[in-house]
Amino acid sequence: MRAGSRPGIRRGGHAAAWSDAQAQAWAPQSTLLGAVALAPASHIGTLYEVTASPLGSLLTGSAGTGIAGTGSAGAADAPSPFTPLILTGAATAGDIHLPGILTPAAANLMPLAQTDCIDQLRQSDWGRLPFSQTFAAGADLSALRSILDANDPSSLKFSTPLFVAQGKADTTVPPTATDAMVSQLQLAGQPVTYKTYPDVDHRSLIAASYPDALAWVNARFGR
């Protein structure tokens, strides 16, 4: 899949941010007033590169099995059931030979990404495979990093406003990554409104952010 001039591997809040940035090019006959992005994934390439390092625990922070593996107390080697989905998307967007960069254990599990949803992947062997056992030792991840970086929303330009919400207890999308994304966008003068929610995780963010998001959307319509 391709979106504009960049390869596309997008979903959820991440897709909402890209839609806001590219709506005019995609549908010039329509008028977009803004977009709401809940916990948009960003800095995935960086997370993959540093998760197993001391910096990884600073980026990912708390217990969970997020985009890149994060364990209890910030130990950065928990399973990452999102990884097979991200890798499958990246392989459709660029020239990546997955068997060449994965361990045999991870490569054998990749077909599950074609049949299983995220909850099923959590219950599969992907939910038990430490992140450090995903990529082969010495594997060249530059092609993967290039695709993931090309899909990072941190450098997007918006002609209409974007509302970003992030739960501070999210273990799927690291709050520090969203903080960094929003800071980069705001420093570049982009029309981004940011709201965070203490003690709110990825799943409960929809309900927690609903009143603020609804008020923001109503304001776009002058209500």
Confidence at residue 57, expressed as pLDDT on a 0 to 100 scale: 40
pLDDT tens, residue by residue, 33-50 = 999 999 999 988 887 766
Q: CB 183: neighbour CB atoms within 10 A? A: 13
Domain ranges of the chain: 2-43+152-220, 44-149
pLDDT tens, residue by residue, 59-85 = 443 333 456 544 433 445 677 788 898
Distance CA 213, CA 165 (A): 8
With vertex at residue 82, the alpha carbon angle to CA 150 and CA 177, rounded to the nearest 5 degrees, is: 55
Rg of the Cα atoms in the chain: 18
Distance CA 103, CA 87 (A): 13
Using N-to-C axis directions, what is the helix angle for 142-150 and 83-93, rounded to 10°? 90
| Under 8 Å between Cβ of 201 and 61 | no
Count Cβ neighbours within 10 Å for each residue of 11-38 and write b for 16 or more, e otherwise. Answer: eebbbbbbbbbbbeeeeeeeebebbbbb
Distance CA 205, CA 132 (A): 29
Closest CA to 192 of 168, 222, 216: 216
Length of the chain: 223
Instruction: Domain 2-43+152-220: give its CATH code.
Output: 3.40.50.1820
Q: pTM of the entire structure?
A: 0.80
Write down the mean pLDDT value for the chain.
83
